Each structure stands twice: as structure tokens, then as C-alpha cells.
Amino acid sequence: MQGADFILDSLVKEGIDHLFMVPGGLIDPFLPALGRHTALTPIVAAQEGGAAYMADGYARASGRFGVALCIGGPGLGNAVTAVAAAQTDGSPLLLLSGEVATDMEGLGEFQDAGSQTLDDVSILKPLTRYSTSIANPRNLPHLLRRALIQLRTAPTGPVHLSIPTDSQRFDLDARYRPIADGLIHARTLALDAAMATLAHFTQGPDGKPPVRIVILAGAGIEHARCSTALLVFAQRWSIPVATTLRAKGAFPEDHPLSLGVFGYAGTHHSRLALLDDPPDLLLLLGSGLNERDTMHWALRLRAQRTICVNLSTVVMGAHLTDSCVVGDAGAYLDWLAAHDDRIGPTLEDTRVARGHWLAGITAQPRLQDPQHCASDATPLHPARAISELRTALPKDGIVLIDSGAHRAFAGHYWTAYAPLTYLSATNLGPMGWAIPAAIGAQCARPDRRVAVITGDGCMRMQGMEIATAARYRLPIIYLVINNAALGNVWLRAHTLGAVPDELTSLPDHDWAGFSRGLGGCGITVSRPEQLAGAFAVALENQGPTVIDVKADKRFATPVQDWSAACAAWSYHE
């Protein structure tokens, strides 16, 4: 089979059923090959960055990996930000880019971005776990296999293969064998370090058994596919759980043991448990320990004792001096379950006291200004629009959150009931990510309803992908919090004078009309009582629906606890 057929066959054998792409001359051999591989559905994006965002969304919603295909040079350049976002969030994205034939590199052929010119491989090396070119067509089978192993081995991240046209057309006498699950999910755990943590469950630094125990769950819970193990462990010993914003939904937020999100846009409950009334023992499971995960790093001053489990020694070494366990969060939870006899008696003895402590926290307000969820203000309050969407969307629906002020409103007021139902590019945070990423999520989970919370600034960047959703009749609900501003930036900038105010304000575009012009449905909402009806219509539509909510940019985001922590603490003090 030809090289292009070999690649597509390999993807199908690895369980991939969609590929996101923008056609171009340097990937022409893939076009007829896609006609021969009907188990793989191609989705043609408006732009290569959109295709890569779609692949990212597919990966996050499916728990597998996503694939984007484009030409090198300008096509790959458009995809760079999407690859960087996947890298910072640990999302397994495979980017395939076409290149001129190897014997034509450096001769001036149109769009040559090979090793003798722009060198696409070198451009992507800092942004990926692995980036290489198929310099010899016979190398394709083993280099593709290496890329797929690198892509999926924890900690996961994007990889890139540059495929010259001669490799795409070359007749290969090879067959692909799927990668064994045990090879890419090795469940690494440093047993000596794990063993040393057992004593922390039975005795604190003061010699007393720890009562106030809290788990802070990060994205490592999602990557390790161990949300169920986390739930079982927390319930067994009545240990409350907070999550980072990146891991929102990894623990059900309607559970009595849920403290909600800690850090940026977090709840009062998580702040009370982790900062105001610091725990005797804090379990940090799979958190990147970055600024937003740790409430501007204020967390490192608090707990009497911390156990941190992470696959990255760099992350732990930079921020912690306490008990660090190199390993997979799921492997550690399984290991703890196997040592019930060592930690169980103390955890059982302290269960009632821990319950009283938690009850004192949960008796206090969970959210900042919860009355905003029912606000009758016009222009609309974002919290009202988000709350109405939460009511309308099924509990197992998937919501994707874009970057902007709406990220804070969604992170605070949205209730996530299950893993992989709240998706957001939280670390790099490119604007417009959610608009195409939702297309990938809907392709990955056609059995679920998918919605997006985005803003007018994001629509200006990636809104053209609404045309892609319309082309493929994907029933995605796009909630546009249209406040005629770059919301988060405006909230800061307008206090600096008239010019910053003007520079961060936007025209009030008709995004509902924009959607209709691209083949989707569009509904304009200017009053809060119109929201429920708009969502009901959107849930009945067979294609995408943009709901253009005229919102007020003056409403402050619910980051009061975050702002106080930032004002009170600097990492280097």
C-alpha cells in the first residue's frame, strides 16, 4: 500500500474515526486514500489552526488522541498556536504535515518548508514531544509507530510528522500492528517514595493523627483515567476533594465531598479548606502546580504536610520540598487502596471529626454572589446565561470554555457532573480555541450534546469554523457572551484611561446573523427571559446554533478570592 494509505490504516487500527484537515497540494495523495479508508471520516476545516483545535477537542472528549492533517509551511504555521496549547495542557494531538519530495528540498519548489528552507520540524520541536521528517520512505512504519508511542505515553502531549510527497506515494510492504495498551499506560510509581507517605496518614508533624485531610486533583487524574478510583477513595474515608480548573469535572461537583474548583475562579469552599483553615494533610494528585492551580502559589505556605504525586520531577522540584512521589496519580490511588490495612484504622478513627470539620466549611456560601445566576439585568449578566445553559444541557452534556471573562464565570458558576464533560485550554489559553475544538468533541461523542461558552472577541478569531459545524450538520450550541469588548482585558484597561478603554472595546456584531450566513442557526437574546426558549430551540436543531447574548461588560468576574491571594502573596517573597 502507499504511504498515505499506511498512515490512514494505522489510525483506524488505533481506534481513530475522524481526521481534521485542510486540503493542499503537498497532501494530495491523502485525498484519494481517504476515499479508500471509509472507516475514517475527514472533516475539512476553514483554517489549519481550526483543524488542529478540532483534533485537540476530539482527543480531550474521547480520551484517545486527535489527528490533524495539513500542508507544511503556511499550513503548519497556522497550526502552531494550537499545537502549543495542546502541549501546555498535555493533550495528545498528532499533526501530520505534507512536504515537497526529499529530492526537491532546497531547490526553490513552491511552498518548500523542508530542512533546507523554513525547516518545519525545527519549528515544532520546542512545542511537541517529538517532531521529525520521514527522510526515507522506508522509515515511515517505525517512525510513525514511535510518534504514536510518544504521543500517548504519560505525560501525554502533541507530536509532529513531516511527510514528503515521495513518502506519501511510496509503495510499502508493511502492515501496522496496534500498540499494546500496557506499553503506553505503564502506571509508573516510585514505590519507595510511596511507602514513605503511609506514615503521613497516621501521624502529623505534631504527633497527632491528621483529621483535616483534603485532596486537590489536577489534570493528572484525567490523564490517568482514574476519576473512578478517586471517587472510591474519597468516599471510603470521607475525604473532601477540590479540583484545579483544568481538572474541573474529574470529581462530581454535586457530590457532598466536593469542594469545587480551587484557584482561579474557585469556590469559597475550596479556599476555606485549603487556605483559611489549612488541612493537616494535603494530597496533590497530578497538578501542574502552576499559578492558577495553586491560587497564585499561596498554597505552598499552608498545609502542615503535603503529599504530591506527579510524573514531572521538574514540577515538584521547583515548588515543593515535602513528600514527592514520582508517579501516575491512578497508580498511587490503586496503591493506597492496596494498603488499607496500614492507613484504614486511623482514617476510620478520624472520620467523624473530619465530617464535622467539612460540615463547618460547607455550611458557608460556596459561590461568590450566587444571586447573579438569577439576575434580571439587561444587558444580561453572564452568570444568568451560563446558569440557564447548565439547566438546559443534559447532565452528561459536554461544554467547552473559551478564553476571556466568560472563562471565570463558567469556571465558577457551572456545575460539572462527570469527567471529560468540562473542557478548556486553561494553561496557554488561546482565544477562540473552543469554537473549533467543539467540532472535534462532537465528532468524538456523537451520543452527547455539546455546547460552547465563548465571547465576541473569540468569535472574531475563530468564528469562521461555524461554517465547518454547519457543513457537517453538527448540533453544537454556541453561547456567545457578547459584551462588545475584550472582556477580561477591558476590565483592567478601562481604569487606565480613555485610550485603553477604546482599544479594548469592540463593535457589537450580529453573531446570530453571522451564523445564519454560514449555514447555521442564529438567535439573538437581549432579555434574560428569552434564554430558556433560545436553548430549547437550539436543542431541537440539527445543525449548529449561535445564541448571541447581549451582555454587560461591566460585571466583575467572580475571582474575588483569587485577587485577594494575588495581592497578599508573591512567589519570590
Based on the number of CB atoms within 10 Å of its own CB, is 28 exposed (0-12), middle (13-18) or buried (19 or more)? middle
CA-nearest of 524, 394, 541 to 474 is: 541
Instruction: Classify each residue of 355-373 as buried b or exposed e, where b means 16 or more C-beta atoms within 10 Å of its C-beta.
Output: eebbeebbeeebbbbeebb
CA-nearest of 240, 197, 183, 529 to 342 is: 197
> Do 112 and 79 share a structural domain?
yes
Question: What's the pLDDT score for residue 321?
Answer: 65
> Do 342 and 204 share a structural domain?
yes
In a domain, 216, yes or no: yes
Instruction: Note the helical H segments in 414-510.
Output: 434-444, 456-462, 466-471, 487-493, 498-503
CA-nearest of 232, 229, 235, 299 to 262 is: 299
Which of 160, 184, 208 is a domain's end point? Answer: 184
CATH of the domain at 344: 3.40.50.1220
The values of phi and psi at residue 423, to 5°, are -120, 135
The values of phi and psi at residue 521, to 5°, are -100, 150
Question: What's the pLDDT score for residue 322?
Answer: 72
> Do 103 and 77 share a structural domain?
yes
> Do 410 and 497 share a structural domain?
yes
Instruction: Note the helical H segments in 295-404.
Output: 313-319, 329-337, 340-349, 351-362, 382-392
Cell of 313: 520531577
Give residue-wise pLDDT tens across range 380-399: 999 999 999 999 999 999 99
Task: Give residue for cell 460547607.
Answer: 362
> Do 382 and 352 share a structural domain?
no
Question: What's the pLDDT score for residue 568?
Answer: 82
**Residue numbers of the chain with a pLDDT score lower than 50:** none
> Do 103 and 9 share a structural domain?
yes
> Do 540 and 458 share a structural domain?
yes
Domain that holds residue 295: 191-362
> Do 161 and 53 share a structural domain?
yes
Which of 336, 362, 388 is a domain's end point? Answer: 362
> Do 350 and 226 share a structural domain?
yes
In a domain, 567, yes or no: no
Question: What's the pLDDT score for residue 570?
Answer: 72
Contacts of 250-259 spanning 24+ positions with Cβ under 8 A: 250/217, 250/219, 250/221, 250/222, 250/419, 251/217, 251/221, 251/227, 252/416, 252/417, 252/418, 253/415, 253/416, 253/417, 254/415, 254/417, 255/231, 256/362, 257/358, 259/214, 259/361
As a whole number of angstroms, the distance between CA 119 and CA 571 comes to 38
> Do 242 and 95 share a structural domain?
no
As a whole number of angstroms, the distance between CA 95 and CA 67 comes to 6
The CA angle 19-23-25, to the nearest 5 degrees, is: 135
In a domain, 228, yes or no: yes
In a domain, 112, yes or no: yes
CATH of the domain at 60: 3.40.50.970
The values of phi and psi at residue 172, to 5°, are -100, 135
> Do 275 and 134 share a structural domain?
no
In a domain, 568, yes or no: no
Which of 362, 390, 418 is a domain's end point? Answer: 362
DSSP state of 129: S
> Do 233 and 136 share a structural domain?
no
Single pTM value for the model: 0.96
Q: How many domains does the chain have?
A: 3
In a domain, 571, yes or no: no
Task: Give residue for cell 504535515.
Answer: 97
CA-nearest of 59, 48, 54 to 16 is: 59
In a domain, 564, yes or no: no
In a domain, 563, yes or no: no
